[in-house]
Amino acid sequence: MGRRSRGRRLQQQQRPEDAEDGAEGGGKRGEAGWEGGYPEIVKENKLFEHYYQELKIVPEGEWGQFMDALREPLPATLRITGYKSHAKEILHCLKNKYFKELEDLEVDGQKVEVPQPLSWYPEELAWHTNLSRKILRKSPQLEKFHQFLVSETESGNISRQEAVSMIPPLLLNVRPHHKILDMCAAPGSKTTQLIEMLHADMNVPFPEGFVIANDVDNKRCYLLVHQAKRLSSPCIMVVNHDASSIPRLQIDVDGRKEILFYDRILCDVPCSGDGTMRKNIDVWKKWTTLNSLQLHGLQLRIATRGAEQLAEGGRMVYSTCSLNPIEDEAVIASLLEKSEGALELADVSDELPGLKWMPGITQWKVMTKDGQWFTDWDTVPHSRHTQIRPTMFPPKDPEKLQAMHLERCLRILPHHQNTGGFFVAVLVKKSSMPWNKRQPKLQGKSAETRESTQLSPAGPAEGKPADLSKLESPSFTGTGDTEIAHAAEDLENNGNKKDGVCGPPPSKKMKLFGFKEDPFVFIPEDDPLFPPIEKFYALAPSFPRMNLLTRTTEGKKRQLYMVSKELRNVLLNNSEKMKVINTGIKVWCRNNSGEEFDCAFRLAQEGIYTLYPFINSRIITVSMEDVKILLTQENPFFRKLSSETYSQAKDLAKGSIVLKYEPDSANPDALQCPIVLCGWRGKASIRTFVPKNERLHYLRMMGLEVSGEKKKEGVILTHESAASTGQPENEVPEGQRAGEPNSPDAEEANSPDVTAGCDPAGVHPPR
């Protein structure tokens, strides 16, 4: 088996975080042991204890606490997504409603601790609790809280993520204009954090930056797509490559083809996962040093590939959920040594106040799976050279070792703040890698420039990278030149490619694994499909129509998607070398009977927050009471809505509309975040097209608790509506407004052919 095949297999297998973040034990194991009467896994491993006691990674006198913490279940943690405009409303709802209901509550004789915020996570947006997933699922007293967590997770407002997993994105220090690569991204909890940071300003529909999220496992890529889709961002692309050989991409800059270098890279590599013992209890019986010895080479190759693609002045975070220095400090030391000063460890000791961590170690030994120790490479017998490599040992030269500042690495120990074990190192690139001939420097942008560009809804103009010809170049030629030459060849070969069509790579150039993806086809400027849409919604001249795409080259275009112009640039220039699984958000869907209306496409809720700034027509401003009615009733007549809403709707032609709620600052009890919903104006009624979990989310934020899936004659029962007996939907009182149909059946004939009140969303990429 070749090195690359072996590396791909290791990346797919060694992913201990596969169990959902925060799960105890993973799989179907309960806290009491195996279901079905199998014996409980004994949380003992003498070799593990001997190894880490010898390496002294735990402070003296704390070993007992360290081992006790590892044997305890991991507390559940959740994170409120920070870029949604209503993050504060969710936090307010959690603190003042759900957490209050947990006070003085006992489950199975155990007092429930009220969740507490993580002291080091900004703005109280991350919380932990002693409630296990099993108790949350099984206890009737906690059913409402559990439903809340599940529903809000599905709608992308809460992420159930392990505490230590939140650290690497925070240390990347992302800004909205950064180009980001997440090298080993699945299952995607860290990727969603990165997307949130790009959208720090919700008034900017298209941030200048983007996230390219990669994973080697094709199936896990779809899990990644599902996670990213919850955040509805036009700035995320999911790709499927071996991280250790991820292709170097090109972009078009003022008519020139230039290599894409990333401002931020997250390198969360596959690892042995002994820091996850609290949730993956299999590690107790399976742990051996052989796992680390086998993974070290792959981890170093991935980190090296990341460093090659990092822009000068850029920041790369290397992280593992392993405590083993062979996977941690040894990889960093080897990378620093081969970089010859191009990389250096950043001092981030003051960037997350409140986080407790141990500094990286500078001396360690290597142990084989049978317990044999080696202190340096010279003592390793030749028969062991395939298993143990020189890069696994600390540098011999004391001055070189001191200059590396390995103490700047962070090792998080489980007993310090009741978390999993983790390792993080933050690297900054000072100059190009010695084997690369040239590369552009990080884009420098003043805060004033960024602020001025973000005011325009059309999206900021692309900054100009430094001119390659003006940079210093070493006199020797390295692998970078070879890659650039190959890229130039690819460009020439692409001359015959159909304009605007970005298909999967030909099988000759790259073997395809998993599903074959549909192509990404950008809408041509002269496509007759667009003018009716532009006219119907009165789109602003600044609307970036060139960023619209579909996933089909033949037949009717059923869905229209949108990407940022930066990702469009990446797609158009790299389709031959990159396997793209998914990108873009759905902004319009074709109505089955669209020809009856002035526009054949209705708005999609998934992309409404991106699209809304450009729409100047068919907008109805609604009150909070209107929103409640629209979200709890499938097809309410105009008479049920406020007179202000009716006066706006009565003169509109039938078809898709935007429903906008603006908060009233004079009324602090009302919902204090704006809401934008997609709807349909029928003959005499309005309905919303909003996914179920998003609908439930808005209702909760307005103080309505939805009771399950019960529906009564088109009405979704809430605690408020269930208590009152309203008039049946099919009864029309005298004096109804002119133009209303005599029965709801007449109204149904004027609505688009989709599931009532719901905007369907799939896990797999759009077709």
Q: pLDDT (tens digit, 9 = 90+) per residue, 553-563? A: 887 888 999 99
pLDDT for res 517: 73
Regarding whether 178 and 151 lie in a shared domain, the answer is: no
> 575: pLDDT confidence band, cut at 50, 70 and 90?
confident
pLDDT for res 707: 58
Does the annotation place 722 within a ligand binding site?
no
SS3 content of the chain, % helix, strand, coil (to 5): 35, 20, 45
DSSP letters along 279-345, please?
Answer: T-THHHHH--HHHHHHHHHHHHHHHHHHHHTEEEEEEEEEEES---TTTTHHHHHHHHHHHTTSEEE
pLDDT for res 58: 96
Position 715 in a domain = no
- Our count of domains for the chain comes to 4
Does the annotation place 5 within a ligand binding site?
no
End-to-end CA distance of the chain: 36
> 208: pLDDT confidence band, cut at 50, 70 and 90?
very high
Does the annotation place 184 within a ligand binding site?
yes
Position 42 in a domain = no
pLDDT for res 498: 53
Examine the pLDDT at 451 and tell me if it is beyond 90: no
Position 341 in a domain = yes
Examine the pLDDT at 314 and tell me if it is beyond 50: yes
> 144: pLDDT confidence band, cut at 50, 70 and 90?
confident
> 440: pLDDT confidence band, cut at 50, 70 and 90?
low
Average pLDDT, whole number, for the chain? 80
Beta strand 422-429 with 343-345 is antiparallel
> 1: pLDDT confidence band, cut at 50, 70 and 90?
low
Examine the pLDDT at 399 and tell me if it is beyond 70: yes
> 501: pLDDT confidence band, cut at 50, 70 and 90?
low
Position 403 in a domain = yes
- In this prediction, residues 466-494 reach a mean pLDDT of 39
Regarding whether 400 and 253 lie in a shared domain, the answer is: yes
Regarding whether 189 and 90 lie in a shared domain, the answer is: no
Nearest Cα to 200, choosing from 83, 85, 58?
83
Regarding whether 698 and 659 lie in a shared domain, the answer is: yes
Lowest-pLDDT choice from 128-137, 476-485, 587-596: 476-485
Q: Which residue range forms the structural domain that includes residue 539?
A: 521-604
- In this prediction, residues 374-403 reach a mean pLDDT of 94
For residue range 25-71, list pLDDT tens digits in order.
Answer: 333 334 433 344 456 778 999 999 999 999 999 999 999 999 999 99
213: CATH:
3.40.50.150
CA triple 508-510-513, angle to 5 deg: 115
Does the annotation place 187 within a ligand binding site?
yes
Q: Which has more confidence, 76 or 319?
A: 319
Q: Which has more confidence, 525 or 495?
A: 525
pLDDT for res 744: 34
Residue 28 has phi, psi (to 5 degrees) of: -110, 20
> 503: pLDDT confidence band, cut at 50, 70 and 90?
low
Alpha helices in 158-288 (DSSP H): 167-172, 189-198, 218-229, 282-286
pLDDT for res 626: 93
Domain-terminating residue out of 161, 176, 194: 161
Regarding whether 172 and 155 lie in a shared domain, the answer is: no
Regarding whether 599 and 636 lie in a shared domain, the answer is: no
- In this prediction, residues 449-474 reach a mean pLDDT of 35
Does the annotation place 33 within a ligand binding site?
no
Position 21 in a domain = no
**Cβ contact 552:527 at 8 Å:** no
Residues with a known catalytic role: 321
Regarding whether 176 and 109 lie in a shared domain, the answer is: no
- In this prediction, residues 669-673 reach a mean pLDDT of 79
Regarding whether 351 and 294 lie in a shared domain, the answer is: yes
**Cβ contact 71:43 at 8 Å:** yes
Regarding whether 131 and 109 lie in a shared domain, the answer is: yes
Q: In whole angstroms, how large is the CA radius of gyration of the chain? A: 28
Does the annotation place 268 within a ligand binding site?
yes
The percentage of residues in the chain with a pLDDT greater than 90, rounded to a whole number, is 53
Examine the pLDDT at 727 and tell me if it is beyond 80: no
For residue range 750-765, list pLDDT tens digits in order.
Answer: 444 443 344 443 333 3
Burial of 146 (0-12, 13-18, 19+ CB in 10 A): middle
Range among 148-157, 436-445, 680-689, 750-759 with highest mean pLDDT value: 680-689
Regarding whether 237 and 122 lie in a shared domain, the answer is: no
**Cβ contact 730:637 at 8 Å:** no
Regarding whether 260 and 331 lie in a shared domain, the answer is: yes
The pTM is what?
Answer: 0.82
CA triple 652-654-660, angle to 5 deg: 60
Regarding whether 186 and 151 lie in a shared domain, the answer is: no
- In this prediction, residues 177-202 reach a mean pLDDT of 92
Examine the pLDDT at 245 and tell me if it is beyond 90: yes
